[in-house]
Amino acid sequence: MSGLKVVVIGGGSSYTPELIDGFIRRAGELSVAEICLVDIPTGQKKLAIIAELSRRMVDKAGLKISITSCFDREQALQGADFVVTQFRVGGLAARAKDERFPLQYGVLGQETTGPGGFAKALRTIPVILAICKDMERLCPDAWLINFTNPAGLITESVLRHTNVKCIGLCNVPIHLKMTIAKLLDADANEVYIDFAGLNHLVWGRTVWHKGIDVTAKVLELMQDGAALTMKNIPDLKWDGDFLQALGMVPCPYHRYYYMTDAILAEEQAAAAQGGVGTRAEVVKAVESRLFELYQDPQLAEKPAELEKRGGAYYSDAAVSLISAIYNDKREIHTVNIANNGAISGLPADAVIETNCVISKNGALPLVVGELPPELAGLVQHVKAYEMLAIEAGVHGDHNKALQALANHPLVPSVGIAKQLLADLLMINAEYLPQFED
């Protein structure tokens, strides 16, 4: 069989039609022979629905891409050229618990940061390392494109503890770029943003349009109420004085750090009886509707309703990254990769999110240098948490887990960290084999 084999782990995800759409739109530059969708047996129904929709999509496009599906990961990985990970251990039910259990302690509940993000990381690390162990044996030359959250932390776990070639990916930078282009009424291809930071903690340090610095104009538009948020984050308006003082474009997830009290109040109201529910509970309803649409035998393209799921531009980011590697394009993408000196003051093997030159050899980060104090403090704080979280997740180390929570900027005290950890370990016991002892 000529052409690439792409394996999607978490293939039954509602995001998968986004990915299939990306491969269809880039068929002229990326010859894909097979896309193998892999999931677990409990996701059998969803996987079957996604596989059938994917086949209708490639058939409508007139492409000869074989869409296969299975539950045997080892079988799927044999001969893979690219592996995309987009799975959620425990599903949306686990995410809903992540979002609820911290609230009783007056702490934010969120799927990628704080105690909720920590719980997700601990559940995910053993699974991603097992996948990588299989890859080392069955497809050692394959690239792993990790979209599984928390993307930066999971990517760092892979790069620190396996030999797999891995690049982490998030749709926040491309979402910011596309949204800012709309604000400027500009072609997105003419907009360049100097991104630097960590996953879900990245700043647009400078915005360029046709080579002209338009950062001040973008910040002015944001002060006028323009939204740069995403579907899964409350659209709280930025304080104009703060933006002016910062002089950079924050990402939507910065609201959790810069507007903690306001977002906590929104979360508590949503989770209370009579509220709309946590984001996971809202997404359950969105996904239910999506899978109803996906079953329509007349549907042969990704539906517009998929945008409500929160993964806008995922296909653009993922498939263009794969194409840049495969075709040795040497073009710039914003990805998660080992620092290797790009940001001063961080370890070489710490994973950062920044602009990189992408080639057949992977991602080469552009030099950032020293971050200004208003960025450096928060980056160092969160990176310390991430490094501790990785060691806790890999080794099942209770002491590292406690230190990770105690060091997270959204956890107010050691006493609360201890209570959060006890709850977290109890709630997630079935997914945390590394903590069995």
Active site residues: 253
- Extract the tokens encoding 243: 């933006």
DSSP 8-state class, residue 9: E
Residue recorded with tokens 């990985």:
77
150: preceding bond cis by omega (within 30 degrees): yes
What CA–CA distance (Å, rounded) separates 263 from 265? 5
Name residue 172's amino acid: V
Give the phi and the psi of residue 179 in degrees, each rounded to 5: -70, -40
Asked if residues 278 and 92 have their Cβ atoms less than 8 Å apart, the reply is no
Neighbours of 113 (CB within 10 A): 26
Alpha helices by DSSP H, listed for 61-113, are 73-77, 91-100
Count Cβ neighbours within 10 Å for each residue of 73-100 and write b for 16 or more, e otherwise. beebbeebbbbbbbbbbbbbebbbbbbb
